[in-house]
Amino acid sequence: MTAALDVKGLTTRFETRAGHVTAVNDVSFTVQPGRIMGLVGESGSGKSVTGFSILGLIDAPGEVTAGAVLVDGVDLRKLSKEDLRKMRGRKVAMVFQDPMMTLNPVLRVGDQMAMAVRVHQAMSKSDALEHARKALEVVGIPSPAERLKAYPHQLSGGMRQRVAIAMALLHSPSVIIADEATTALDVSIQGQILAEVRELADTTGAAIVWITHDLAVVSSLADDICVMYAGRIVERGTAEQVIGGPRHPYTQGLLDSIPARHEPGRKLPQIPGSTPQLSRLPDGCPFRPRCPRASELCRTEPPLDVRDGHAVLCHHPLERV
Amino acid sequence: MTDPILKIDAVSKRFTRTPGLAERLAGKFTGGGKPVTVHALTDVSLEVTKGEVLGIVGESGCGKSTLGRVIAGIHAPSSGSVTLNGKPVADERRGNIHKLTTQVQMIHQDPFASLNPRMKVGETLAEGPRYHGIIPADQVRTRIRALLEQVGLEGAYADRLPHQFSGGQRQRIAIARALAMEPEVLVLDEAVASLDVSIQAQVLNLFMDLRHDLGLTALFISHDLSVVRHVCDRVAIMYLGRLVELAPADQLYADPRHPYTRALFASIPTVGTGRGRFEAIKGEIPSPIAPPPGCAFHPRCPFAGPRCWAEVPRLTEAGAARTVACHLNDGGVEMQKGAA
């Protein structure tokens, strides 16, 4: 089976006053059709830049300097600007955190959805509206025909995010990238949307990359998980492998610092220090200064250790029996 | 049980927006242009004892932040009263307000917005206590250093500006600023919500240490149920401006009684292996401008019956030290466990 999305050695750099900053450093992963890949990391880990880099949305002073992004076998990085534009929205779609950034506030929902349909497909306006109505129905919007006539400000935050997801679905893309798509929503609404996203992946066969800082969300939603730290994927595996038996000390530290895993009132194990600035990364493993397992060896580049598809970028991975 | 230090008695808070001239003129033709009233809090009563940490949980628009602000004296209640050691914290008469409220201090969500970027950290910390004469002028410097050390920072950081600190460090500064006023009660409004998990654990540990060392009384407002469970003794669940359930944390988490509390617990993703199921609450949160009649939760409640459509449920006893506002509780109708 060809992977819906195959990212190989993706590297993105930014030119800053402090020098070159590698925001995405040799990132590789694949997502099969119908599967959800959770890309987790804390702020500044490079998870959002990874999403933007996949879609070729990096502008100066940033630049994708290496790697390949294969969508259904086609390398997006080798396409001309015009061909890439044809792929975006049709083959690869993105959903952002704030739906008001995606939706045009002065156009009715139906008009802007129909426009998005007709950019890629020759279709009459009425057919396009019908197509949009069906997409709204798929994401669980009640009385979709009426919502088509609404302006974005007339919808609640949860409804707007559903519209944004429906827009991403218009062309039945092979890959959907969602960047913190439920972070701004209330838990009860988040629950509804996550349930629908899961169903979408199962029924439409779209490959979904779910970018978030929230480990609880990915552990219940995703099939596979990549953990990012300082621009690198430090651990990659199925959700069972990564959450059930983390091998990277950083992943272990993240999981340990979740309050729900401890008896109430107990002191939480904490990762010392804070996330490093990308312009001032230590040599070798970037997690070294905060790592309880660090040794002199960690001043050199950590090796990639793969067992049963569970990959970890570490000199001293945790051993699991 | 000791006497409550903080007493919130039947507090309601309404915000009314009067339309501007243009809107009133347009309203003559469209029939709009009338004042809009948001019922942010309706008849909320709570008592907090000394040394207790009370969690306040709810989704956006439930009034949890408004409650925090009313307690801190930032808003005066529209009706009802908030008293600290028997004295009101807020008074409609403006002159009275700032004298009373130094004993309740608030810590806000966004440490990037709550610290003045042009003031050195030391000045920020010293401003309040100096103005209110809490610390003698000749002791301010030593006290500020001690405060910074108490929250896990270095005393020398007093001469730095906020932009030189990370989010977690700034939240520590915000906590130090609140402590500088030597408050009786702290109100933390989503104080760890904007922090990364690893930093969140650090700040929660700091809060638990301070609580232990200083015997803090606090209201911990949050939407994050796992954080609340970890640091709070009792938890109040709010929905659309009303208190719907109040119980000791261990009892609430073991056996939530209100259908909303149950649904909230069910829709929260937890870290575990294997695919989770999201037992979503159907429907959306109604607007606080036009709350539904009867029980505000009835349009989304799987157990709602005719009585819920018409009559607002009152908070009633549901076992020792816990109350719940639901007709199923007092009407003798037993909820099917786990049916929500």
CB contact under 8 A, B274 and A267: no
Residue with tokens 């009067």: B18
CB contact under 8 A, B229 and A260: yes
pLDDT digits (tens, 9 = 90+) for B210-233: 999 999 999 999 988 889 999 999
* Residue A131, CB-side half-sphere exposure with 13 Å CA sphere: 23
Which residue from A43, A158, A219 is facing B196, i.e. has the nearest CB? A43
Average pLDDT value for residue range B301-326: 90
DSSP string, A271-291: --S-PPPGGGPPSS-TTGGG-
Q: In chain B, what is the greatest distance between 2 CA atoms, to the nearest angstrom?
A: 67
Buried/exposed B85-117: b ≥16 CB within 10 Å, e otherwise: eeebbbbeeeeebeebbbbbbbbbbbbeebbee
Distance, CA of B231 to CA of B211 (rounded, Å): 10
Distance, CA of B198 to CA of A275 (rounded, Å): 9
pLDDT digits (tens, 9 = 90+) for B141-194: 999 999 999 999 988 999 999 988 888 899 999 999 999 999 999 999 999 988
Distance, CA of B297 to CA of B299 (rounded, Å): 6
CB contact under 8 A, A219 and B270: yes
> Which residue does chain B place closest to A156, by CA atoms?
B284
- With a pLDDT cut of 70, the percent of chain A lying above it is 99
CB contact under 8 A, B205 and A267: yes
Task: Give the pLDDT score at A75.
Answer: 95
Which residue from A158, A190, A239 is facing B284, i.e. has the nearest CB? A158
Measured between beta carbons, which residues in chain A are less than 8 angstroms from residue B250? Answer: 264
Measured between beta carbons, which residues in chain B are less than 8 angstroms from residue A197? Answer: none
DSSP A268: P
Measured between beta carbons, which residues in chain A are less than 8 angstroms from residue B269? Answer: 190-191, 194, 214, 216-217, 219-221
Distance, CA of B27 to CA of A102 (rounded, Å): 32
Task: Classify residue A101 as left (phi > 0), alpha (psi -120 to 50) or beta.
Answer: alpha
Average pLDDT value for residue range B116-136: 91
Task: Identify the residue with better confidence: B195 or A212.
Answer: A212
> Which residue does chain A place closest to B234, by CA atoms?
A264
The reply to whether A295 touches chain B by the CB within 8 Å rule is no
Which residue from A195, A243, A253 is facing B271, i.e. has the nearest CB? A243
What is the distance in angstroms between the Cα of B127 and the nearest Cα belonging to chain A?
Answer: 29
Measured between beta carbons, which residues in chain A are less than 8 angstroms from residue B229? Answer: 259-260, 264
Which residue from B197, B205, B281 is facing A42, i.e. has the nearest CB? B197
What is the distance in angstroms between the Cα of B122 and the nearest Cα belonging to chain A?
Answer: 22
pLDDT digits (tens, 9 = 90+) for A274-316: 888 888 888 999 999 999 999 999 999 999 999 999 999 999 9
* Residue A182, CB-side half-sphere exposure with 13 Å CA sphere: 22
Which residue from B208, B269, B274 is facing A194, i.e. has the nearest CB? B269
- Alpha helices (H) along A41-186: 47-54, 81-87, 99-102, 109-120, 125-138, 144-147, 157-169
pLDDT-derived band at B332 (thresholds 50, 70, 90) equals very low
pLDDT-derived band at B340 (thresholds 50, 70, 90) equals very low
B-facing residues of A in 30-49 (CB < 8 A) are 42-43
Task: Give the pLDDT score at B279.
Answer: 64
Query: Average per-residue pLDDT in chain A?
Result: 92
Q: Give Cα separations from A158 to A111, A185, A187, A219 (angstroms).
A: 20, 6, 10, 22
Task: Give the pLDDT score at B285.
Answer: 81
The reply to whether A183 touches chain B by the CB within 8 Å rule is no
Query: Average per-residue pLDDT in chain B?
Result: 86
CB contact under 8 A, B166 and A274: yes
Is B10 in a helix, a strand, or coil?
A: strand
pLDDT at A142 over 90: no
The reply to whether A200 touches chain B by the CB within 8 Å rule is no
Measured between beta carbons, which residues in chain A are less than 8 angstroms from residue B200? Answer: 257
* Residue B198, CB-side half-sphere exposure with 13 Å CA sphere: 20
Task: Give the pLDDT score at B176.
Answer: 95
Is A38 in a helix, a strand, or coil?
A: strand
What is the distance in angstroms between the Cα of A80 and the nearest Cα belonging to chain B?
Answer: 38
pLDDT-derived band at B320 (thresholds 50, 70, 90) equals confident
What is the distance in angstroms between the Cα of A82 and the nearest Cα belonging to chain B?
Answer: 39
> Which residue does chain B place closest to A36, by CA atoms?
B275
Task: Give the pLDDT score at B276.
Answer: 57
The alpha carbon dihedral of A164, A169, A173, A177 has a sign of positive
pLDDT digits (tens, 9 = 90+) for B57-98: 998 888 999 999 999 888 888 999 999 888 887 665 555 555
Give the range with max mean pLDDT: A140-149, B70-79, B239-248. B239-248
B154, burial (CB in 10 Å: exposed 0-12, middle 13-18, buried 19+): exposed
pLDDT digits (tens, 9 = 90+) for A234-258: 999 999 999 999 999 999 999 999 8
pLDDT at B288 over 70: yes
Distance, CA of A154 to CA of B85 (rounded, Å): 45
Task: Give the pLDDT score at B336.
Answer: 46
Measured between beta carbons, which residues in chain A are less than 8 angstroms from residue B296? Answer: none
Distance, CA of B177 to CA of B196 (rounded, Å): 22
Which residue from B199, B223, B275 is facing A220, i.e. has the nearest CB? B275
Can you list the positions of beta strands (E) in chain A? 5-16, 19-31, 36-40, 62-71, 74-75, 92-95, 175-179, 207-212, 224-229, 232-238, 304-307, 310-313
Measured between beta carbons, which residues in chain B are less than 8 angstroms from residue A264? Answer: 229-231, 249-250
- With a pLDDT cut of 90, the percent of chain B lying above it is 51
Task: Identify the residue with better confidence: A139 or A300.
Answer: A300
CB contact under 8 A, A213 and B208: no
pLDDT at A143 over 60: yes
pLDDT at B317 over 50: yes
Measured between beta carbons, which residues in chain B are less than 8 angstroms from residue A244? Answer: 273
What is the distance in angstroms between the Cα of A78 and the nearest Cα belonging to chain B?
Answer: 36
Q: Give Cα separations from A117 to A49, A87, A135, A165, B336 (angstroms).
A: 27, 13, 11, 14, 46
pLDDT at B1 over 60: no
pLDDT-derived band at B337 (thresholds 50, 70, 90) equals very low
Question: ipTM strictly over 0.90?
Answer: no
Residue with tokens 């989010």: B167
pLDDT digits (tens, 9 = 90+) for A106-130: 999 999 999 999 999 899 999 999 9
Task: Give the pLDDT score at B86.
Answer: 84
Distance, CA of A181 to CA of B16 (rounded, Å): 33
B262, burial (CB in 10 Å: exposed 0-12, middle 13-18, buried 19+): buried
Most B-contacting residue of A268, A280, A290 (CB-CB within 10 A), to test interface: A268
pLDDT digits (tens, 9 = 90+) for B91-122: 655 555 555 668 899 999 888 889 999 999 99
pLDDT at B241 over 90: yes
